[in-house]
Amino acid sequence: MHVTGAYQSGKNWLYLRVMDNAGNVSAPISQEYYYSADAPSPPENLAVTPAYSTGNSFAFDWDQPLSFIGEASKLKYYYSINTLPNAYNVVETTSTFAGPGPFATQKGANRFYVVAMDEAGNIDYDLAAHIDFTADTSAPGAPVNIQIFDTSDRENAEYSVATKWTPPVGASSDNFEGYVIYRSTELDGTYASVATTSGTAYVDTGLESKPYYYYIKAKDNTNNLSVASSIVTIIPTGRYTTAPTLIQKPTVKTQSFIATFNWGTSRVASSFVEYGKSISLGETNGQVDSVTDHEVIINGLSADTKYFYKVKYIDPDGNIGTSEIGNFTTLPPPVVSEFAVTEIKLDSALISWKTNTSATCILKYGAGSLSNTIEETDGASAHIQKVVGLVAETDYQAQVDCVDGDLNDFNSDQYNFATPIKPIATDITVQNVENVDLPTILIEYKTNIKATTHLYYKSSEESTPHTYLTEEKTIEHKAEIRGLDPAKEYVLTIIGTDENGITLEPVEQKITTKSDSRPPEITINRAVGKVLGRGASSQANLYVKIETNEPTKLKIKYTKGASVSGFDQSTGEDPLNTYHLMTIPAEVGQMYSYQAEVFDEAGNLTNSKVSTIIVEDAKSSASEIIIGTTTKQFGWLSEIWNK
């Protein structure tokens, strides 16, 4: 450690001696050194040869700084290219020259910086000399013979690829920096630089198993890049050393002459089935496509036969896997079963059938001949077709012709069916019911086959109809609809459904309800026969008194004698009233029978019971009484009178 003031700028000497505990002092030793508080000035006379080059070969020289401390032989120099010098980017030399060599790091203008350090280690990077020089270089040629290889570890899913190439023709070793590798995941995508190398091979690691595209460019010392090489591509996958595993055990779907095999593997592989009628198998069928979901269809098998089989699969790396041996039995020969004709309507029907193997069929049907056909387009084992355009009350025949997946033809028997009778309503009567409190109508009709009694009805003022329904199926129908509005027109529609579920063709009827449905009551019915005057000139009348519970018109039917019908005479109508007194000319001493008819304003009629009354005899006049008495006493006078 220096004592303050014990040193000076320039050359210094350090003297050292040793003293023991007795005060004895050794002879001194010395060491000279330099100390400077200031860094050297910039190197002088910096020059470049040549200042312009087409080959990137330059030499630099300079002289020592004008100002520095210490010996010139102990000066050191530090230089950088195109960046200001600092402690991290400079090249050290003890010479006052550099090169010749490829100092340019870019095409065109470049700058050379150099700074000095004295033996005390003083350096100021801001005190650098610099000089410009130009490298007018040409880009190297493109690398050729690009090849790419898969170097992946597939078992551990570690994916990598290697590329190698041949240097460009005529590349200058004096001005050649190396190669830049570019990569993209799309052929026409953006390529990014992933590495530089001075060699002619590169391994790209940490990839995924997906497409990659590469090209290479050569680079000289001035960072001139060549055009791109040709593009190479690869999907890194590596190789497997063991076969895939079965992740879905084999299943077999059998038909008469066909078997379909399905299974799944953990990795892609080809698909084959070895099969035969004995455990030794002997036949093979399949395809080489690499898949994980496998399906093999084998045609030409024998119907109703037992077979043995095993599935076999080979991955792209040649690893072979197989299943255990299993067996299956093909279905019996193809047949048509469960042929049925259902939902038979007046003009349509459903025809269904089944086949014990997938088949396409042609349905043939007709009346008298199988002249109509319906062809299926897809194979199936359950079949159904709707036939339309049929005619009611007609006998039909139907049959199917089928072909299965092995092009085997088979057909059904011929079946018969008949369309039903069209239900119709006839003998329709609609009338008001008499003597009821509220308007009531009675509808009666017949159907040609049994059907429900079903009607809709509504007045002209209603938007939604009411329903009358009796589920019992019958031929003679009777419906009494009560509680209607008085004096309203109603529209009734007869429908109903027969035993085949077929609805009658609607029949519409109209009727107007009565304003009053109850006939009047006769509360008083009395009659008397009276004689007016005495003697032979007397006259007689019948007087009939009728009273009713509502205003009515009265008409009397009558006849001479005792009778319950066959009235041969009648009176005119008495106007509306609740009280009526009717006078009828009569003969003295005669018996009369009569019946009262009363009509209310709505036209409701009430007939009274037949009543019988006798008109009294006429009383004699005074002269007839005297003559009668004299005749009894003096009978002889009458004889004289008569003579």
pLDDT at residue 432 is higher than 60: yes
> Count of CB atoms within 10 A of residue 584's CB?
18
Residue 176's pLDDT is 82
| Residue that finishes a domain, picked among 329, 345, 369 | 329
Question: What DSSP line would sit under 423-475, residue for residue?
Answer: P-EEEEEEEEPSS-SS--EEEEEEEEEEEEEEEEEEETT-SS-EEEEEEEEEE
Domain co-membership, 456 together with 486:
yes
pLDDT tier at 537, thresholds 50, 70, 90: confident
Average pLDDT, the chain: 88
Report pLDDT for 153.
84
Q: What's the rounded Cα separation, in Å, for the pair 482 and 288? A: 83
Same domain, residue pair 322 and 367: no
Q: Stretch 616-628: mean pLDDT, rounded?
A: 60
If asked whether residues 301 and 356 sit together in one domain, one would say no
pLDDT (tens digit per residue) in 18-76: 787 877 877 778 666 555 558 999 999 999 999 998 888 899 999 999 999 889 999 99
Residue 404 has pLDDT above 60, yes or no: yes
Q: Give the residue carrying structure tokens 């230089």.
A: 79
pLDDT at 558 over 90: yes
Yes or no: say if 52 and 109 are a contact pair by the CB < 8 Å rule: no
Q: Are 68 and 44 in contact (CB under 8 A)?
A: no
- Both 124 and 153 in a single domain? no
Domain assignment present for residue 185? The answer is yes
- Using the predicted structure, report yes or no on whether residue 99 has a pLDDT greater than 70: yes
Taking 80 as the threshold, does the pLDDT of residue 640 lie above it? no
CB 545 within 8 A of CB 554: no
Q: Is the pLDDT of residue 86 over 70?
A: yes
**Residue 572: pLDDT above 50?**
yes
Distance CA 122, CA 198 (A): 37
Banded pLDDT at 102 (limits 50, 70, 90): confident
Based on the fold, state whether residues 10 and 133 are members of the same structural domain. Answer: yes
What the block records as the tokens of 501 is: 């579920």
CA distances from 9 to 4, 6, 43, 77 (A): 13, 11, 21, 22
Cα angle 556, 558, 560; round to 5: 155
What is the count of structural domains for the chain?
6
Residue 14 has pLDDT above 50, yes or no: yes
On whether residue 623 sits in a domain, the answer given is no
Contact between 273 and 312 under an 8 Å Cβ cutoff? The reply is yes
> For the chain, what percent of residues have pLDDT higher than 70?
92
Query: How do residues 130-175 score in pLDDT, each as one tens digit?
Result: 999 998 888 888 899 999 999 988 878 899 999 999 998 866 667 7
Residue 643 has pLDDT above 50, yes or no: no
628 assigned to some structural domain: no
Give the pLDDT score at 630: 44
More confident residue, 285 or 223: 285
Domain-embedded: residue 638 = no
Last residue in a domain, options 296, 314, 329: 329
Tell me whether residue 241 is in a domain: no
Beta bridge pairs of residue 395 = 418
> Around 410, how many Cα atoms within 13 Å sit in the side-chain half-sphere?
17
Segments forming the whole domain that contains residue 544: 522-614
Same domain flag for 374 and 496:
no
Q: Which of 232-241, 383-392, 472-481 has the lowest mean pLDDT?
A: 232-241
512, 488 contact by CB (below 8 A): yes
* 182 Rama sector, left if φ>0, alpha if ψ -120 to 50, beta otherwise: beta
Cβ partners under 8 Å of residue 6, min gap 6 = none
**Tally of CB atoms within 10 A around 209:** 14
Nearest to 53 by CA among 96, 109, 97, 112: 109
> Does pLDDT of 631 surpass 70?
no
Token pair recorded at residue 121: 């280690």
Q: Which of 2-6, 15-19, 98-102, 115-119 has the lowest mean pLDDT?
A: 2-6
The number of beta carbons lying within 10 Å of the beta carbon of residue 4 is: 5
- Are 456 and 467 a contacting pair, CB within 8 Å? yes
Cα dihedral 109→114→115→119 (10° resolution): 170
Beta bridge partners of 486: none
pLDDT score of 641: 38
Position 498 scores a pLDDT of 92
Is 620 within a domain? no
User: pLDDT confidence of 347, banded at 50, 70, 90?
Assistant: very high
101-137: b (≥16 Cβ within 10 Å) or e: ebbbbebeebebbbbbbbbbebbebebbbebebbbeb
Structure tokens at 19: 């003293």
pLDDT at 638 over 50: no
Q: How far apart are CA 266 and CA 477, in angstroms?
A: 74
637 within domain boundaries: no
- Indicate if 133 and 148 belong to the same structural domain: no
Q: Are residues 435 and 410 in the same domain?
A: no
Res 65: pLDDT? 96
- Backbone φ and ψ for 629, nearest 5 degrees, come out as -70, -45
If pLDDT is split at 50, 70 and 90, which confidence band does 621 have? low
Which residues, 6+ apart, have CB-to-CB distance to 118 below 8 Å?
34, 36, 39, 40, 68, 69, 70, 74, 75
Kindly state whether residues 150 and 131 are assigned to the same domain. no
Last residue of one domain, picked from the residues 418, 439, 469: 418
> Would the pLDDT of 620 be above 70?
no
* pTM of the full structure: 0.38
C-alpha of 418 from chain center: 40
Looking at the chain, how many residues does it have? 643
209 shares a domain with 302: no
**C-alpha 360, offset from chain centre:** 28
Is residue 190, in this structure, part of any structural domain at all? yes
Query: How high is the pLDDT of residue 291?
Result: 96
* E strand map for 277-344: 283-298, 306-314, 320-322, 326-329, 336-342
Domain check: are 132 and 3 in the same one? yes
Residues 446 and 567 occupy one common structural domain: no
CATH number, position 447: 2.60.40.10
Mind listing the pLDDT tens digit for each residue in 265-311?
A: 999 999 999 999 999 999 999 999 999 999 999 998 998 999 999 99
